Structure 1
Amino acid sequence: MLVALLVFLLSCKKSKVNETESTDINPVETTENDRDKTLVVYTTAMDTDLRLTKTAEQSFVDKVQALETDVAVFVNPEKTFQEFLGIGGAITDASSEVFVTLDEATQNQLLQSLYGKDGIGYNIIRTSIHSSDFGLGSHTYIEEGDADLKTFSIEKDKEKRIPFIKQAMDLIGEDLVFYASPWSPPAFMKTNNNMLQGGKLLPEYRQAWANYYVKFINAYEAEGIPVWGLTIQNEPMAVQRWESCIYTSEEERDFLKNYLGPTLERAGMGDKNIVVWDHNRDLMSDRANTIFEDPDASKYAWGIGFHWYETWTGGLPKYDNLKNINESFPSKNMLFTEGCQEGFDIEKMFYWPNAERYGNSIINDFNSGVVGWTDWNILLDERGGPNHVENFCFAPIHADTKKGQLIYTPTYYYIGHFSKFIQPGALRVSTTTSRSTIESTSFKNKNGNMVTVVMNPTNKKVVYKLVVGQIETQLQIQPRAMQTIVY
């Protein structure tokens, strides 16, 4: 009896082991639908005429184990992450001043290029609450000293900025994400009595300043512009020669939880999305830790915004800080709120590394958990302005105001490799590369289409495998190029 029982138990154990081994070693079968799947490749490349140009159309085959000598992009459609909010840029006073110098046909060309169905599909618009450095001068919406905001008026914005925004909105439609950021409170509300050169918000004006945001939202929505949200302060740790205001982490936390959050809630604006920080990646972990660890402040915060200018120190972009925040506060969102190539030089209008900076940032930001990406000025003139303190920079599109013509920089096309193909509501998909010489990210649109973006910043053509689950195909990417693969 005992011998029979032992034989039975051993046979059961052997059966269980064999079952496990079978599960581990048998690959997932490739379906006929997978084998029939086709892909289309769009390419932009330096020293060529390729600009978001369709360059290939081919099919997948069954996956073959990649070798160490292969260059490969591995996509796992079964693993998805954050939902894509969108991509866009800022409609500033400077952009508006340039826009109105153009004739109607060129204005329409610009709008279609950025927001139209045949353009690159922008859906995010950022603007400033009153003035920033990118404009002809400083201004606010009230008379100086009016703490009760009785003189509040956005008449100046109605002249050029708001008509521009409305035309963009009409093309974007229901996917619009519109948000606003202040560069400085009015001078009388600050410790230095100046909108420029930093300074801080005086304690006695915290409530008046919180009321100012409510006035702004009401005024813009009365013009038919739905306000998705706002950031508390643009670059709150930078004393700039232009409009600026300093908040420590604790000061921003306390203003949010004691003034801005409750004020918006009382005004029936609890659904507006409040974005904290709105500055560089370098110090953002401290800001996140301070605000998100405080439940009374955190409840008002949709997430954290950031810029890319930490590289002014000579270091590399701090993408690891994004990953840390994403892991530490998974319920909070991250939004890229501003980036541009500084130091305008007309000789570098078509300088390829400017575009590659965008490609590198967008890929790594999204792979770190970011939900949306906002460029700075959508349009500037041939000097990189106007800017009332001569802080000139590049934009994806410039206008030659003397000729009334638009100049499309490589950056426009590099951004378009993401914004034109990835749709709001898409989910990021697990994507890695086998070499550091190429970079990649992927998204799955709500219609089921997959989009993989690959960048080659090297001076050599790269032949690589695109491996998607249990199927693959072989592609090549030109030197100094960006590709979008749709399948």
Structure 2
Amino acid sequence: MRKDHIKILCLLFSAMAFAQPKKKQSIKAFSTAGRSITVYTTAENSSSKLSETQKLEFTKAEQPVEKEISVFVEPKKQFQTFMGIGGAITDASAEVFAKLPKDKQQEFLNAYYSKDKGIGYSLMRTTIHSSDFSSGSYTYVQEGDKDLKTFSIDHDRQFRIPLIKKATETAGGKLLLYASPWSPPPFMKSNKTMLQGGTLLPEYDQAWANYFTKFIKAYEKEGMPIWGISVQNEPMATQTWESCIFTAEAERDFLKNYLGPTMAREGLGSKKIIVWDHNRDLMNHRANVIFSDPEATKYAWGMGFHWYETWAGGEPMYDNVQKVHEAYPTKNLIFTEGCVEKFDASKYQLWANGERYGASMINDFNNGTVGWTDWNILLDQTGGPNHVGNFCLAPIHADTTTGELIYTPSYYYIGHFSKFIRPDAKRISTVASRSQLLSTSFLNTDGKMITVVMNQSAAEVTYNLCVENKKASVTIPAHGIQTLVY
């Protein structure tokens, strides 16, 4: 055979070899072999606050009987990829932080953002100009400037931007940051004020879409990458504070005709856009209208939701989250806001407030949610500042007269998830056999399984943690929450 023919054949075989599809890396199967369990506990009427309380070993599991209580974990059944847990850096939080002594500022930063010294937040929300949790209403442009020539984020440089940067540094240099507007500027609205609802005037659709892109570029120029935005905070609420009404059809049309195309045109097409950003009660209708529209849905990364549907006196509508996930499985779900709504200093240590967080997080994750964001990370001894008197509770409060930091049960309940479940973890099938217990599990990328168990009852419960053909007997205190790491 001629040398040139041999050369051609070698090249052909080489090309064919490179053209073969690469074998997918097999995910290493989870096994309990050689693993022990470390249990961390927080409980009412005890000194346990994210405390290591037990070290356990797996033993062979028998068929459980009905009188036993069990938590069943099936590692082979994996679901959504975890994005992160965090809270909102509002103007109020940043202003209170600035009033703290330097040592308390560092303690606060570590408490939220350090994986070792605190609870390891990995997610952050902020506002596009003012919300109720600002000392007053403001925008980034002079009133009437439809061309946005006066656009400037100088207002945020005093308090908010420094805190965002310090939080990011404490978190190791990376925090996933997204932003939400409470209202367009007054001149763009039907009621000519940022407050009391109103709607975006059609002649300002493009200007308002441009405003989003200017905000993103301005923040990124300051070294703060923006992961995404939501279209409108609570678009069906006429509030005494900054608010703006978008019906489902109005949000759909603004997204597909203005915001989505403008983001793409400005080189921001990779940024995520979150729709709804309001309570669980009406989320299914909003999903149907927006996600069923072929043009609008291509711009929507997913749906954000809050927990305030209980204002009407009912229970949290957890099933609505699952129904959206069931109907639109390719869309992401993220909890974008929740807080204990009415400030009362006598309820700083009310245990039910922490349990509200635990129940919501477990149910939301089990229903397909990929990320979970608390509201204000810090408020003062009045539950503010808030320029319309809408004072609330936060997981951490600061008494600005003494410099004291006050840690509430909510902080510890959130920490049972955020400290241990890390970004890119996979949710794992987990079910409790009795209603006293709520549970969820995630498999971290380092191979460690994290199971969170919450006891809603007033009695101590002993349960079996059952993982494949192994089990361990665990005792959880009354009104307690545990994280099991194995």
Q: Could you say whether these structures have the same fold, taking a TM-score greater than 0.5 normalized by the shorter chain as the test?
A: yes
Match of 1:41 in 2: 39
- Residue 332 of structure 1: aligned partner: 331
Task: Tell me which residue corresponds to 1:452.
Answer: 451
- In structure 2, distance between residues paired with 1:227 and 1:35: 42
Residue in 2 that maps onto 1:5: none
State how far apart, in whole Å, the 2-side matches of 1:470 and 1:340 are. Answer: 40
- Is residue 85 of structure 1 aligned with residue 63 of structure 2? no
Question: Where does 1:43-122 land on structure 2 (aligned, <5 Å)?
Answer: 43-118=41-116, 119-122=118-121
CA contact (8 A) 1:35 1:59 kept: no
- Deviation at 1:37? 1.8
| Equivalent position of 1:467 in the other structure | 466
The offset of 1:174, in angstroms, is 5.7
What is the correspondence of 1:66-465 to structure 2 with a 5 Å cutoff?
Answer: 66-118=64-116, 119-173=118-172, 175-465=174-464
CA distance 1:303–1:174, change in 2 (3 Å): farther
Distance (whole Å) between structure 2 residues aligned to residue 421 and residue 274 of structure 1: 28
- C-alpha distance in 2, partners of 1:34/1:314? 44
1:35–1:62 CA contact under 8 A, matched in 2: no
Distance of 1:87 and 1:193 partners within structure 2: 36
User: What is the rounded CA distance, in whole Å, between the counterparts of 1:432 and 1:472 in structure 2?
Assistant: 14
Q: Deviations over 1:151-210 (max 9, x none)?
A: 000001011100000011112236521000000000010000010000000000000000
Question: Structure 1 vs Structure 2: percent identity of aligned residues?
Answer: 61
Long gaps (5+) in structure 1: 1-29
C-alpha separation between the residues in 2 aligned to 1:172 and 1:112? 8
Aligned equivalents of 2:222, 2:173: Cα separation in 1: 17
- Please list the CA deviations of residues 401-436 of structure 1 after superposition, one character each: whole Å capped at 9, or x if unmatched: 110110000110000000000010000000001001
Structure 1 Cα separation of the partners of residues 211 and 341 of structure 2: 31
C-alpha separation in 2, matches of 1:428 and 1:175? 22
- SS at 1:287's partner residue? helix
- Secondary structure (helix, strand or coil) at the match of 2:172 reads helix
Q: Distance in 2 between matches of 1:255 and 1:360?
A: 35
Q: In structure 2, the residue corresponding to 1:220 is in which secondary structure? A: helix
Conservation of the 8 A alpha-carbon contact between 1:74 and 1:432: yes
Whole-Å separation in 2 of the counterparts to 1:186 and 1:215: 14
Q: Secondary structure at the match of 1:466?
A: strand
Q: Is the 8 Å Cα contact of residues 35 and 471 (structure 1) preserved in structure 2?
A: no
Shift of 1:36: 3.0
Amino acid of the residue matched to residue 66 of structure 1?
P
Task: Give the distance between the partners of 2:404 and 2:376, measured in 1 at CA.
Answer: 17
Aligned ranges 1:10-29 → 2 under 5 Å: none
CA separation in 1, counterparts of 2:482 and 2:344?
Answer: 27
Length-normalised TM-score, structure 1: 0.93
Inter-partner Cα distance in structure 1 for 2:333 and 2:34: 37
Matches of 1:192 and 1:480, distance apart in 2: 48
Decide whether the 8 Å contact of 1:233 with 1:245 is kept in 2. Answer: yes
Q: Deviations over 1:72-129 (max 9, x none)?
A: 0000000000000000000000001100001111101000000013210101110000
Amino acid at match of 2:57: S
In 2: Cα distance, 1:342 partner to 1:407 partner: 18
SS of residue matched to 1:221:
helix
Q: 2:89 is aligned with what amino acid? A: I
Per-residue deviation, 1:58: 1.2
Deviation per CA, 1:356-383: give whole Å up to 9, x if none. 0000000000000000000000000011
Q: Is the 8 A contact 1:432 1:441 kept in 2?
A: yes
In structure 1, C-alpha distance between the alignment counterparts of 2:270 and 2:468, rounded to whole Å: 39
Q: CA RMSD in A?
A: 1.1
CA–CA distance in structure 1, aligned partners of residues 461 and 284 of structure 2: 36
Deviates more, 1:322-331 or 1:302-311: 322-331
Cα offset for 1:35? 4.5
The separation in 2 between residues aligned to 1:427 and 1:52, in whole angstroms, is: 23
Query: Contact between 2:32 and 2:467, CA under 8 Å: does it hold in 1?
Result: no
> 1:76–1:430: 8 Å Cα contact kept in structure 2?
yes
Looking at structure 1, the residues matched to 444 and 303 of structure 2 have their Cα atoms a distance apart, in angstroms, of 24
Question: What is residue 17 of structure 1 aligned with on the other side?
Answer: none
- Report if aligned partners of 2:379, 2:396 keep a CA contact under 8 Å in 1: yes
In the alignment of these two chains, the number of paired residues is 457
C-alpha distance in structure 2 between counterparts of 1:351 and 1:371, whole Å: 28
Tell me the secondary structure at the aligned position of residue 354 of structure 1.
helix
Query: The residue matched to 1:136 in structure 2 has which SS?
Result: coil
Residue aligned with 1:282, SS: helix
